[in-house]
Structure 1
Amino acid sequence: MQKAGVEVRAAAGGSILRIRNDAPDGTFTKLGREAVREAECGNGVVIEHPEQWETQYCHLAAGSVLVKLGDKVELGQPIGRVGLSGLTEYPHLHFTVRHNGVVVDPFAYGVRPESCQGGQSLWLTALRSKLEYQERAILNAGFTTGPVTMELIEDGSAERQMPSASSMAIVAFVRAIGLKAGDAQWLVIKDPLENVIAETRSAPLQANKAQFMLFAGKKRPPGGWERGSYKATYVVERDGQVVLRKDLELML
């Protein structure tokens, strides 16, 4: 997500109230919580809107902020890019809405604190279906030519090393977020003849996971790779039901 340059846009028109644009990406994952103390938001933007509304955008990429203090912005105007700065383990946007200085839920504005239902959505009607909550999601998935680490995924190296007929290995990888305790995962690769050539299964998770990486791979056989379509399937199961799935294909 970070290397793809995903834009962050203003949720509504207003004036730029605060910014930070010099926090390095990946500090928390490399150095720990103390390294981002009092800078948990990382690179960010706060926009002041009419009638005492504010929106805040955190974890933007280092050097990506496009606005300055006092700038006027319009609805949908790009203000930066998704990054890995501040207190975060994976690239994403932490979005906050405040009214009269109090944090509110843009999906259920006005709901009583003790209630789990009701409230009013602040999102445009056309966007509401696209913003429905996803309990689990896949951030990265693909084929590569060797062992996969989170660092290789973050810098885009894993996805750039696409296997070819001469590659010494074929590896499929997936990085998922929002997995829950009890989720079980498996990843399998099949060759053009539908033979399983690699498989990885994980035991049910003992705790919720902000992110989880799984990969499976096969070294090149002595006779070389069979030409044709190699397919990988990633599945998350819970209580015998498939709750997340991703299919990948590689042509050799």
Structure 2
Amino acid sequence: MIRTTASLSLALALPAGAFELQQPVDCTLGETCYIQQYFDHDPGPAAADFTCGPLSYDGHDGTDFALATRAEMAAGITVLAAAPGTVKGARDGIADFAPAVEGRECGNGIVIDHGKGWETQYCHLKQGSVLVKPGDIVQAGTPLGLIGQSGAAAFPHLHLSVRQNGVKLDPFSIGTTACGSTGDDLWSEDLPAEPGGLLDIGITTAVPEYDAIKAGLLSPDLPTTAPALVVWAYYFGPKAGDEIALSITGPEGEVIAQRLPIEKTQALAFRAIGQKLKTEGWPPGAYEGTATLFRAGQQIDRMQVSITVEP
């Protein structure tokens, strides 16, 4: 797959010697992982991330570093200690994908004490992956376990919470309450943050089931007698008013193309368009599917996928 994306470079300098965090997941933001939800800065029943964008929900008290599919979770993505400290608590043994149990919404998780009132908490780790126990000393970057989907988790991700003296803080904008403010962040290096984007794209012979897309659906080579060609796109953070353009181009030119309005702000969504077989068969050769996400008329992300139609 080929991908292009627009992102924001988000980091403000902290005073020398201040508490700092490194990225808590061994992945590349915008490529092999993404941030699905940020800390909620709206004091009322609505929700807003620190940029006043929609990537949060009411009362969300952390940052969700997410994987696009359960297949990527199965492959294993390591959770890392965000700063040096001592493990204060750890829990394992909660099954992934099981209903959340009251009081254990974090699922398999870890709390690290960093001194001077600072703590970080790591939630929803994969069952059986937790590598540390209370009392262990860790450094920034020490492996803690793997991203999972245990506890109250609707998708595979790490929920990172940051606290100082029991007060929950947004590591992207500390010391502020309203969104759009210019509070310092806690990151030791710039973290690219996307305002929403594409997670996956594929070409199939029918509109796929949403659960299959979330699991990690491949685009196999197809015969010339395939009953239809369908291009689908899976994306996060869509806002009402956005648009998504989908197309398939084959060896003889355009097969289908549509630009569709997005009418609802959501955390995750997918769209698909297709063309039924109208002739004796699809021309053999390479076919390319493209998805482009637009906000306020500007491209914010683009993905492509190629398949071969075989004679």
TM-score range, shorter chain: 0.7 to 0.9
| C-alpha contact 2:225 2:281 (8 A) present in aligned 1 | no
Q: Identify which of structures 1 and 2 has the higher relative contact order when contacts are C-alpha pairs closer than 8 Å and 6+ apart.
A: 2
Matched, 1:138 2:198: yes
Q: Deviations over 1:140-166 (max 9, x none)?
A: 32334544223213333x12x523346
Alpha-carbon distance, 1:97 to partner = 1.0
Q: Deviations over 1:189-248 (max 9, x none)?
A: 121222224x56544323x20100122344566644323221111122333333332222
Which letter does structure 2 place at the counterpart of 1:76?
G
Tell me: CA distance 1:181–1:67, structure 2 relative to 1, closer, same or farther (3 Å).
same
Secondary structure of 1:132 counterpart: strand
Cα separation, 2, equivalents of 1:82 and 1:76? 15
Matched, 1:113 2:177: yes
Matched, 1:8 2:66: no
Tell me: CA distance 1:233–1:9, structure 2 relative to 1, closer, same or farther (3 Å).
same
Across the aligned residues of Structure 1 and Structure 2, the Cα RMSD in angstroms comes to: 2.7
Residue of structure 1 equivalent to 2:160: 95
Cα separation, 1, equivalents of 2:92 and 2:231? 35
Q: 1:23 aligns with which of 94, 104, 114?
A: 94
Matched, 1:82 2:143: no
Cα separation, 1, equivalents of 2:260 and 2:154? 21
Q: Deviations over 1:14-69 (max 9, x none)?
A: 222222323333345xxxxxx44333222222112122211111222233322223
Which letter does structure 2 place at the counterpart of 1:174?
A
| C-alpha contact 1:184 1:204 (8 A) present in aligned 2 | yes
Cα separation, 2, equivalents of 1:221 and 1:64? 51
Cα separation, 2, equivalents of 1:118 and 1:209? 26
Which letter does structure 2 place at the counterpart of 1:119?
G
Q: Where do 1:221-240 residues align within 5 Å?
A: 223-240=280-297
| C-alpha contact 1:185 1:236 (8 A) present in aligned 2 | yes
Q: 2:244 aligns with which of 169, 182, 185?
A: 185
| C-alpha contact 1:144 1:171 (8 A) present in aligned 2 | yes
Residue of structure 2 equivalent to 1:69: 134
Q: 1:60 aligns with which of 117, 125, 148?
A: 125
Q: 1:155 aligns with which of 215, 223, 240?
A: 215
Secondary structure of 1:179 counterpart: coil
Which letter does structure 1 place at the counterpart of 2:307?
L
Q: Which runs of 5+ in 2 are unaligned?
A: 1-66
Q: 2:234 aligns with which of 156, 166, 175?
A: 175
Secondary structure of 1:148 counterpart: coil
In terms of fraction of residues, the more helix-rich structure is: 1
Tell me: CA distance 1:63–1:174, structure 2 relative to 1, closer, same or farther (3 Å).
farther
Cα separation, 2, equivalents of 1:64 and 1:200? 44
Q: Could you tell me the TM-score, scaled by structure 2's length?
A: 0.66
Alpha-carbon distance, 1:98 to partner = 0.9
Alpha-carbon distance, 1:136 to partner = 0.1
Cα separation, 2, equivalents of 1:7 and 1:123? 19
| C-alpha contact 1:56 1:97 (8 A) present in aligned 2 | yes
